[in-house]
Amino acid sequence: MQQKALTDYIFTSESVSEGHPDKICDRISDAVLDLYLKADPYSRVACETLVTTDTVVIAGETRGPESITKDLIEQTARDVIKSIGYDQEGFSYKTANIDVKLHSQSVDIAQGVDEGTGVDKEEGAGDQGIMFGYATKETDALMPAPLHYSHMILRRMAEDRRSGKLKGIEPDSKSQVTLEYKNDKPVGVKSVVVSTQHAEGLSQEDVKELVRPYIQEVLPEGWMPSEEELYVNPTGRFVIGGPVGDCGLTGRKIIVDTYGGAAPHGGGAFSGKDPTKVDRSAAYIARYLAKNVVAAGYAEGCTIQLSYAIGVSKPISVYLNTHGTGTAPETAIVDALQQLVDLRPRGIREHLKLNKPIYERTAAYGHFGRTATEDGGFSWERTDLVDELQRILG
């Protein structure tokens, strides 16, 4: 006997701020990527960063102009740390020891990607793997609501902290929003958790009152949790934070970066990778396709999976699921999408115009659910396929 799908449930997603140690690493890695792409749009970069007390290590593989020196990379990392707001004992943009260990990209990897080389003479994927895209009508951003609200709470706090409006709150923060669902629709908040680094001398209650307005501002009217379900710094104290309190690494917040666990994840991280790496570019195009399907009215929610083999240009598979909400056959939607977008690595890069220095801004508060910008940033959030989808599918 087939089990009936669960439609009433409780679901939680979390976010972390730009000052979280892992996010410092993501942002430095993406800032280094932007540095290379600004100098040469076809640079190859796979940059990883580690941060701990007084230390930043930047490692990985690159292929790009000689004008990108170690000194320039070090200054880029210091600029990132300063922008986030770290000038603390134990971790400061002024005094941190920055060790740059980048080296040349493997020629074996390069031959699988470079057009005209390798077995497949077209530009191939930089690695094998599976990538997912997702969209849902739960929010105007077509993102899962628990993650959307988690991001917004921390983003608003960070904006006011940097402007000086929010005093006493330091860069390292985490949020968690738990929603109740009825008939697969979010209907209210069960609980909210915010843990934020703060200045010495503030009590737990002080911090709670500083944070409360941001939660109230973000959540829909009437959704504020009860006082018993509002958890702010539940350990009672969070003065030691950032890399002094916890080591950070690039790529450890992939669920925060994507859909908060509401959709599958292929496993590959994004930050520090140039757009020949399908871990990043194919995940972006999958989100773009899923978002356009939902925006065009062909589903309430849509999941797309793409898979690739290293050195091979065409995708190995294309999968689409409208979770029982589709208004057109899924096979017809897949066919229409492939008519409109070339899913080979080069086609993805050109369609979304990914060979630009647009990546540092993606490193915190999610790669998806953002607003496309005039310089090409977040191009995968556009809904410019809607008219063509409706023309093809009717």
316-365 per-position pLDDT tens digit = 999 999 999 999 999 999 999 999 999 999 999 999 999 999 999 999 99
pLDDT, position 109: 55
51 Cβ contact list (under 8 Å, min separation 6): 21, 24, 25, 28, 57, 91, 243, 247, 248
Q: In this structure, how many other beta carbons lie within 10 angstroms of the beta carbon of residue 285? A: 29
Q: What is the mean pLDDT of the chain?
A: 94
pTM of this prediction? 0.94
361-390 per-position pLDDT tens digit = 999 999 999 999 999 999 999 999 999 999
Contact, 305 vs 131, CB < 8 A?
A: yes
167-189 per-position pLDDT tens digit = 999 999 999 999 999 999 999 99
pLDDT, position 121: 47
24-40 per-position pLDDT tens digit = 999 999 999 999 999 99
Q: In this structure, how many other beta carbons lie within 10 angstroms of the beta carbon of residue 116? A: 8
What distance in Å separates the CA atoms of residue 237 and residue 222, rounded to the nearest whole number?
Answer: 29
Which pLDDT band, with edges at 50, 70 and 90, does 127 fall under? confident
What distance in Å separates the CA atoms of residue 248 and residue 16, rounded to the nearest whole number?
Answer: 12
63-113 per-position pLDDT tens digit = 999 999 999 999 999 999 999 999 999 999 999 999 999 998 665 555 556
* 77 φ/ψ angles, rounded to the nearest 5 degrees: -65, -45
Contact, 237 vs 203, CB < 8 A?
A: no
